[in-house]
Amino acid sequence: MQENLFSQDDDIWYVITDGPMKILKFNTAIAISGGEPQMVEKPRAEWSTEDKKKSNLDNVAKDIMYKTLDKNMFRNIKTCSTAKEIWEKLTQLREGNDQTKENKLTVAIQKFDNAKMKAGETMAEFDERFSNIVCELISLGKIYTNREISLKVMQALSRE
Q: Note whether 62 and 112 are same-domain residues.
A: no
Q: Note whether 88 and 110 are same-domain residues.
A: no
What is the predicted pLDDT for the residue at 44? 92
Low-confidence ranges of the chain (pLDDT < 50): 1-6
How far apart CA 62 and CA 16 sit, in angstroms, is: 8
Instruction: Please give the DSSP secondary-structure letter assigned to residue 37.
Output: P
What is the predicted pLDDT for the residue at 67? 92
How far apart CA 127 and CA 110 sit, in angstroms, is: 17
H or E segment to which residue 12 belongs: helix 2-18
What is the predicted pLDDT for the residue at 104? 87
Q: Which of 52, 73, 95 is the last residue of a domain?
A: 95
Q: Note whether 142 and 82 are same-domain residues.
A: no
Q: Note whether 46 and 103 are same-domain residues.
A: no
What is the predicted pLDDT for the residue at 34? 60
How far apart CA 17 and CA 62 sit, in angstroms, is: 12
Total domain count, the chain = 2
What lies within 8 Å, CB to CB, of 121 at 6+ separation is 129
Look up the domain containing 44 and give its range. Answer: 2-95
What is the predicted pLDDT for the residue at 33? 59
